[in-house]
Amino acid sequence: MQEIYLIFVVLLAALLGFELIRKVPATLHTPLMSGSNAISGITLVGALASSGGDYGWLTVILGTLAVALASINVVGGYMVTDRMLGMFKKKQK
């Protein structure tokens, strides 16, 4: 049953992603990419458990490196996207 539940989640998330992203206009494709870059930093959530758990040194080092790399993605991704989106302006009349 667990597998079926997982397939459900995979299917719905992928379909939802397609529907949402299809509506993003071409002019915003670069911020979309840097923004989704930031979102893919969600790996950070997975890395936290390895970095801070009761594990051997190898796991903690791997986890901490993963935390650092994912943090670059999350912080850098959101900030640069914000910087770019701030540049998109309407015509001033």
Partner 1 sequence: MDTLTYFINLAYVASAALFIFGLKLLGHPDSARKGNFVSAIGMFIAVVVTLMDQQIINFHWIVIGVVVGGAIGAWKAKTVEMTAMPEMVSLFNGFGGMASLLVGWATISGMTEEQLLAADGGLFVATFLTIMIGAVTFSGSFIAWGKLSGKMNSKAIIFDGLRLVSLGHLIALTILVVLFTLQPDVGIWLYLTIIVALSFGILATISIGGADMPVVIALLNSYSGVAAAAAGIAIDNTILVVTGLLVGASGLILTNIMCKAMNRSLLNVLLSGFAKPPEMGEKIEGEVKIMSSSDAFYVLEAAQSVLVVPGYGMAVAQAQHAVRELQDLLEENNCAVEYAIHAVAGRMPGHMNVLLAEADVPYEQLFEMDDVNPRMENYDVAIVIGANDVVNPAAKEMKGSPIYGMPVIEVYRAKTVFVLKRSANAGFAGVDNPLFFKENTRMVLGDAKDTLNNIIRDFSTD
- What is the footprint of partner 1 within residues 64-93 (CB under 8 A)? 64-92
Least distance CB 1 / partner 1 (angstroms): 14
| 15 contacts: CB under 8 Å, gap ≥ 6 | none
Residue 7 found at the interface with partner 1 (CB under 8 A): no
The residues in 12-41 that bind partner 1, with binding defined as CB under 8 A, are: 13-14, 16-18, 20-41
| 44 contacts: CB under 8 Å, gap ≥ 6 | 66, 67, 70, 71, 73, 74
List of E strands, the chain? none
53: left (phi over 0), alpha (psi -120 to 50) or beta: beta
Least distance CB 22 / partner 1 (angstroms): 6
Name the residue nearer to partner 1 (CB basis): 1 or 87: 87
Residue 46 found at the interface with partner 1 (CB under 8 A): yes
